[in-house]
Chain A
């Protein structure tokens, strides 16, 4: 825990506003607005991609056009937003100075480095000491990757997606789309057609990645969509902990974010994936904000393998994401720990899917939703036990916390069991911050706002403690800043 004093000073400065909302003046290289086959070809050409990848993009594009015509966007989620004009979006925006890729940090645009400084992204020497390797994605292009050489000695590959396409085409060819096929869903299909960059990590057999890998995403250019793609493969017996952070500047217009993340674990491997999502949530009146339509899925392909998702979702006007695990290998484990916050006019529809295929597979879901202001928070989860999944076990816990009386919390669990040996537990609770708790803390000299914060982060602790230490501190602060004005 950060000491309460330092938190309150921090928040005083922000004055209850989104404090990551600065814009960086960097020359941008845009593709024209709108989506067409030509744009897809242009993106692929800009990146000097091999023919097979262009083909894959085009298959996705044509499939998306068909989906758009026949079904349109998915409508089952409990979210409302104005129609998105897909022809009014820039699908490619690279900072101009990086069209020739930077060779080292010295080659990176100083304005951009200053942006990362403001974000507190550790890119330089002192952070190397902290043991974090970072791939920073600015709009859709990967800017700089630290620590690569040290990782290379262990055979670990950690680089931007574009570099991976160039340098490790066989791995990309083998795994791209293997968990989230290009035809998966409207937003994933769109991503498959136009994704411009992202991160790639490969951990070779038996290697335990000694540091946390991290990608920091930031949207900057106005009217751009961000379509990054992350692929992480943990080979037999490998382990990696991966962190992802996101911010976007304050803008009146909405920005579309449609990312795809694919995780693969082979025998005895483990991936721990942590996200702090702090995209701009829109103004207090509900203007602007990021539409966050993300497809995240992992597959435990090998026996005894494990995938764990932890997310703290405080940003975005709309959050639509369901990080999932397909438990294919026998004895494999899937976990999902989530805190989602919806304040002001934010809408969050988030949860997970656990698909049990292998024997003795086990999944744990701890989903916590905080609703404040007029925020609407929905947990939507699916647990599916296939006939082959002997002795599968699932434990699901959904907790909702309401702050104020104009917000909403909704829980939509789907359970499908096709093997009688399965054991499933589902617990759900809804609570408010109680007056007794508040009075107790305040009677010790703790201010009302601080008391609320303490109760809410305490309530979220089961999830926050799953995050790596530095991230856990950031998560606590984000919860506090995001809730300012909602209490009292």
Chain B
């Protein structure tokens, strides 16, 4: 589903590269986790995949469902089924989550050649999902993310994930700042959406989210490269012995 080959990227107008030849491959229905120390390029990678304009890709290839996506705008990538759950979702005054999600879902349905949902059907779906992810219904009547607590913002990201049902969901440190209850809701959301034709890329610093979501593959990212790939047991290794050994090995390179 997602194929990344030798990806090099840096911040716009900066010389130093953050991603220095990252390669990985995610098959349909797989759940991958990317773990790594602070500053290893985890968030950069997640954002580059959706085409955030703050970053520039210097070289490498990224294909999604066999299509080269690096020339596509973020909205074009989203319409093809990619989704990013943000670490720091933007606050947008005066735009209600309902209105925003209706527009997003309509755009996606139109791209897929489907009719937009009626207001009534959409509202029902929306209300059900709001309840499922445990967002205070009063909150979604306010402005998008404005005045939301950290946990509320993350739940709102999960609400969007459940509503939009992407083919590939990238979760950028969705677990940071969450208490155990919220963590469980995120995990339940992901687990319930797992299916043979939907893949996940979970970016995280800690192993604890992986107690709830069992990944098929774990990658260790250090200094802009994948330095180790393994099964779920790799996350436990990191949990027990930290990233030191990988960092040392990377420096020794």
Contact = CB atoms under 8 A, between A and B. Distances in A.
B243 to A, nearest CB: 29
A435 B89 CA distance: 12
A476 to B, nearest CB: 11
B79 to A, nearest CB: 5
Contacts, number: 96
Given A4-B107, A5-B110, A435 B93 contact: no
B143 interface: yes
A457 interface: yes
Interface stretch (B2-10, B46-54, B57-65, B123-131): B46-54
Interface string B83-96: 11010011111110
Interface stretch (A118-126, A223-231, A444-452): A444-452
Interface in B74-123: 74-75, 77-79, 83-84, 86, 89-95, 99-104, 106-108, 110-111, 116
A436 B91 CA distance: 9
Interface in B127-173: 143-144, 160, 164
A439 B104 contact: no
A458 B93 CA distance: 6
A455 B92 contact: yes
A446 B92 contact: no
A444 B104 contact: yes
Contact of B106 (A4, A434, A443, A448): A4
A483 to B, nearest CB: 16
A147 to B, nearest CB: 30
A34 to B, nearest CB: 48
Contacts of B53: 435, 439
Given A454-B103, A458-B143, A461-B94, A443 B75 contact: yes
B103 A450 contact: yes
A442 B99 contact: no
A446 B79 CA distance: 9
B123 to A, nearest CB: 13
Nearest to B95: A458
B94 A445 contact: no
Nearest to B103: A4
Contact of A439 (B52, B95, B111): B52
A44 B117 CA distance: 58
Contacts of A5: 106, 110, 116
A435 B54 contact: yes
A440 interface: yes
A277 B75 CA distance: 33
Q: Looking at chain A, what size class is its interface with the partner chain?
A: 20 to 34
B100 A445 contact: no
A285 to B, nearest CB: 30
A175 interface: no
A459 interface: yes
A3 B102 CA distance: 8
Contacts of B75: 442-448, 451
Nearest to A453: B103
B104 A440 contact: no
Contacts of B83: 443-444
Interface in A146-171: none
Contacts of A448: 73, 75
A1 B99 contact: yes
Contact of A444 (B73, B99, B160): B160
Closest 10 pairs (CB-CB, A-B)? A458-B94, A461-B94, A458-B95, A445-B78, A444-B104, A440-B90, A442-B74, A442-B75, A4-B103, A436-B90
Given A444-B107, A446-B107, A459-B94, 18 more contacts: A3-B102, A4-B107, A5-B106, A5-B110, A434-B90, A440-B86, A440-B90, A440-B92, A442-B78, A443-B75, A443-B77, A444-B78, A444-B83, A444-B160, A446-B103, A455-B95, A457-B95, A460-B94
